[in-house]
Amino acid sequence: MQAPSVGGVRLPKGGGETIRLARGASLTDFADKIDANPAALVQVLFHLGEMVTATQSVSDDILELLGSEMNYNVQVVSPEEEDRELLETFDITYGEDAGDEEDLQVRPPVVTVMGHVDHGKTRLLDTIRKTKVLEGEAGGITQHIGAYQIETELEGTPRLITFIDTPGHEAFTAMRARGANSTDIAVIVVAADDGVMPQTVEAINHAQAAKAPIVVAVNKIDVEGANPDKIRQQLTEYNLVAEEYGGDTMFVEISAKQGVNIEGLLEAILLTADAALDLQANPDMEAQGVAIEAHLDRGRGPVATVLVQRGTLRVGDSVVAGDAYGRVRRMVDEHNEDVTEATPSRPVQVIGFTSVPGAGDTFLVVGEDRVARQIAERRQARIRNAMNAARRKRVSLEDLDSALKETSTLNLIIKGDNSGTVEALEASLVQLEVGDEVELNIVHRGVGGVTESDIDLATASDAIVLGFNVRAQGKATERANREGVDVRYYTVIYQAIEEIEQALKGMLKPEYEEVELGKAEVREVFKSSKIGTIAGCLVTSGQIRRNAKARLLRDNVVIAENLPVNSLKRFKDDAVEVREGFECGLTLGRYSDIKVDDVIETYEQREKPRA
């Protein structure tokens, strides 16, 4: 059978074999797999209308398109899968307890506190920590490391609970987005004087999506006008039915500020864990878990708080977290005390990484420093590739030209300093009139800084983020850069509107109109072996310009169109343009059917300005 060809390029042809390519692979990677010349693939894509260099990362779509063109079944491998395969090459399995049923031991629940802003999440986490530290033997000085563990009692038995100490569901979603499910139980805080609010609902959705059982902390019961029953009522709508109403969700009335019924909340967490979950892990294996928080410390270098999920982490272990690696030189707990080993559900701050891992990165202990380094390096390379691919794909205002080929919808996320401005901005934007071919779609709007979950959403929906009188929070900028999300900040409403309007207009496909430039009559025809057929003409109106387009008329009938005017000459000299009343010689590309008395009409396509 003949090899298929596109635009005259002969394609390497597969027999429907499956080819696995990493997300963000380049044409060179593809060519390697099928033993072809990368240049041939570049050419093929060119004929399919895509200009791509051999080493540039390309999108999933392009890889698949190219595959189907050449009869290969392209499978784009997700980063998670790829990572699993990477670890397999070192004989490592992440995410599973080694050994049998007998090797498993009970581990404490890990809790995330979520809820609407100002409902008391931070206060609650502080109160729990303080109450417990006063009781404990530890010195009383606590430091914020991103998580802490407390000891309490349930029916006379001492029990531990781990709290993730970064309130809000952003950290929670960020971790989940990276496949690291760190939370066993979600405590949803609802202020009794305020009731269920948008972020309460969002938090519930996140928890339910993660299949984490929920305990509802009805907070601020000390405030006058607090109405805990209304909250029980409201939450039934979200499938959270209180035990008193015959459901299985525990509602606990507390005051984070006055320290009321904190014990009751801790008890509810443990009871819920015991009833709904079977929390066990094997402590006798090389530790695995997730990095919760990390930063560069001036004195100590990179420090990362990791939550051990299985195995035991010890000083001296070789570790990898995301694309960072190192050896545990020192571990400290939330009381700033040295720890030599950390068992499942224990958060510890690790010193000894050579670079800073990302929050949400998985971490694991490996047998040798060399292996840790190799895994980290392979991941770095992959992140670089993925970043390049993302850059290409994501929309930015400057880049709309290419984006409009795929879509004529401009997706926006609007964040502002208060709901009034956000609404005003949104209202003005949706009123922008730029024609039917393009539309504006507000994917999300909200009050507050640009967060990492805004960036996640922008990534997922190919949106541009507008920040009005607000700035990025936490690692949002870092993430936006990594994902190639365009984030724009404004302080003047008109400026925002103007830029978006320009962007939308830019998305319209340009409209062209023909502008006649001039006419000439053919007086003589010469044939030249070197440059083809030359028409000796007299310009009868307007002007004849080199590189303009021409059509040829004979007896008022168009016999050829879209011909290029080249080698325009006045006598022996090259001319750029020749005006009415003058004679000139010209060729119309390689077109040769030119006769005396033909008329050459020249014109130009000009982009029509938009109103």
Least Å distance, CB 273 to ligand GDP, is 23
Residue 223 touches ligand GDP, criterion: CB under 6 A: yes
How far apart, in whole angstroms, are the C-alpha atoms of residue 569 and residue 546? Answer: 9
444 is in an annotated binding site: no
CA 195 to chain centroid: 33
- Structural tokens at position 383: 């992140």
Q: Which of 81, 14, 5 is nearest to 43 (CA)?
A: 5
CA 71 to chain centroid: 31
Residue 169 touches ligand GDP, criterion: CB under 6 A: no
How far apart, in whole angstroms, are the C-alpha atoms of residue 284 and residue 556? Answer: 93
Task: Provide the mask over 280-319, with x wherever binding to ligand GDP is found by CB under 6 A and - wherever it is not.
Answer: ----------------------------------------
119 is in an annotated binding site: yes
**Per-residue burial over 564-594, b = 16 or more CB atoms within 10 Å of its CB, e = otherwise:** ebbbbbeeeeebebbeeeeebbbbbeebeeb
Residue 220 touches ligand GDP, criterion: CB under 6 A: yes
Residue 222 touches ligand GDP, criterion: CB under 6 A: yes
Give the residue with the Cβ less far from ligand GDP, 172 or 363: 172
How far apart, in whole angstroms, are the C-alpha atoms of residue 275 and residue 248? Answer: 10
Stretch of residues binding ligand GDP (CB under 6 A), selected from 26-34, 70-78, 250-258, 366-374: 250-258
Find the Cα–Cα–Cα–Cα dihedral 451, 457, 458, 462, rounded to 10°: 170
Stretch of residues binding ligand GDP (CB under 6 A), selected from 8-16, 252-260, 313-321, 485-493: 252-260
Residue 219 touches ligand GDP, criterion: CB under 6 A: yes
Give the residue with the Cβ less far from ligand GDP, 45 or 187: 187
How far apart, in whole angstroms, are the C-alpha atoms of residue 160 and residue 264? Answer: 15
Give the residue with the Cβ less far from ligand GDP, 189 or 351: 189
257 is in an annotated binding site: no
CA 162 to chain centroid: 30
301 is in an annotated binding site: no
Task: Provide the mask over 253-272, with x wherever binding to ligand GDP is found by CB under 6 A and - wherever it is not.
Answer: --xxx---------------
How far apart, in whole angstroms, are the C-alpha atoms of residue 14 and residue 3? Answer: 9
Count interface residues toward ligand GDP (CB under 6 A): 16
Restricted to residues 79-98, the positions that interact with ligand GDP (CB under 6 A) are none
375 is in an annotated binding site: no
- Structural tokens at position 506: 């830019």
110 is in an annotated binding site: no
Residue 197 touches ligand GDP, criterion: CB under 6 A: no
Give the residue with the Cβ less far from ligand GDP, 220 or 394: 220
Task: Provide the mask over 320-359, with x wherever binding to ligand GDP is found by CB under 6 A and - wherever it is not.
Answer: ----------------------------------------
Give the residue with the Cβ less far from ligand GDP, 255 or 345: 255
How far apart, in whole angstroms, are the C-alpha atoms of residue 566 and residue 602? Answer: 12
361 is in an annotated binding site: no
Least Å distance, CB 150 to ligand GDP, is 18
221 is in an annotated binding site: yes
- Structural tokens at position 287: 């530790």
Strands (E), 7-135: 9-10, 18-22, 73-77, 105-106, 110-115
37 is in an annotated binding site: no
Exposure on the CB side of residue 32, measured as CA atoms within 13 A: 10
**CB contact at 8 A, 293 and 304:** yes
DSSP annotation string for 199-224: HHHHHHHHHHHTT--EEEEEE-TTST
Give the residue with the Cβ less far from ligand GDP, 221 or 242: 221
121 is in an annotated binding site: yes
**CB contact at 8 A, 480 and 500:** no
- Structural tokens at position 278: 């079977």
Give the residue with the Cβ less far from ligand GDP, 170 or 361: 170
Give the residue with the Cβ less far from ligand GDP, 117 or 315: 117
Restricted to residues 106-125, the positions that interact with ligand GDP (CB under 6 A) are 115, 117-123
Stretch of residues binding ligand GDP (CB under 6 A), selected from 217-225, 238-246, 414-422, 578-586: 217-225
Residue 167 touches ligand GDP, criterion: CB under 6 A: yes
- Structural tokens at position 611: 């109103």
Return all residues near 603 (Cβ < 8 A) that are at least 6 apart. Answer: 514, 515, 516, 517, 548, 549, 550, 551
Least Å distance, CB 223 to ligand GDP, is 5
Give the residue with the Cβ less far from ligand GDP, 261 or 587: 261
117 is in an annotated binding site: yes
Exposure on the CB side of residue 354, measured as CA atoms within 13 A: 13
Least Å distance, CB 187 to ligand GDP, is 11
420 is in an annotated binding site: no
Give the residue with the Cβ less far from ligand GDP, 194 or 486: 194
Q: Phi/psi at 126 (nearest 5 deg)?
A: -65, -45
Give the residue with the Cβ less far from ligand GDP, 121 or 169: 121
312 is in an annotated binding site: no
Least Å distance, CB 168 to ligand GDP, is 7
Q: Which of 477, 497, 470, 475 is nearest to 412 (CA)?
A: 497
Residue 447 touches ligand GDP, criterion: CB under 6 A: no
Residues near ligand GDP (CB under 6 A) are 115, 117-123, 167, 219-220, 222-223, 255-257
Q: List, as residue ranges, the binding site for GTP.
A: 115-122, 165-169, 219-222
Q: List, as residue ranges, the binding site.
A: 115-122, 165-169, 219-222
